[in-house]
Amino acid sequence: MHRVDVEIFGTRKEAMEFFTPREDSPDTFEQTSFDADGTVEWAVGAFDAEGRYHNVLEEARAVLSFDTSDSLSAKWQRRRPDGIWIDWMAVTFDRIAAPHIEVRTKSDHTV
């Protein structure tokens, strides 16, 4: 799971994205994105032998490379109406805060 908080062409976009491993393929993930505007998107992604993550949607796709433990880059392509894939954008991501993961057991919760 990760939080998305970006600005694209002056418009802020916020979402939560969940990555769920497929039971039959530990390197393949179902991706579900819940945008703040109520939009829900689904995609499938998988790691290749070099450790790159491939994200494939109907009209767009990306290859994400983990450059360091705190950064990654993505090269996006989009599909033209004639079905040809063309380069769309290159994006870099840098961690701006330490990860915060809190693991709790059922006994940690009260009803």
- pLDDT at residue number 101: 60
Q: Is residue 105 part of a domain?
A: no
State whether 6 and 18 are in the same domain: yes
Q: Which amino acid, 16?
A: M
Instruction: Please compute, for residue 32, the number of CA atoms within 13 A of its CA located in the half-sphere on the CB side.
Output: 7
For residue 111, pLDDT over 60 is answered with no
Q: pTM for this one?
A: 0.68
Q: Which of 11, 4, 6, 59 is nearest to 32 (CA)?
A: 4
- pLDDT at residue number 56: 83
For residue 41, pLDDT over 70 is answered with yes
pLDDT (average), residues 104-109: 58
pLDDT digits (tens, 9 = 90+) for 71-106: 889 999 999 999 999 999 988 887 777 766 665 565
State whether 53 and 90 are in the same domain: yes
Total domains present in the chain = 2
Tokens, residue 14 = 């916020």
- Residue ranges making up the domain that contains 19: 1-44
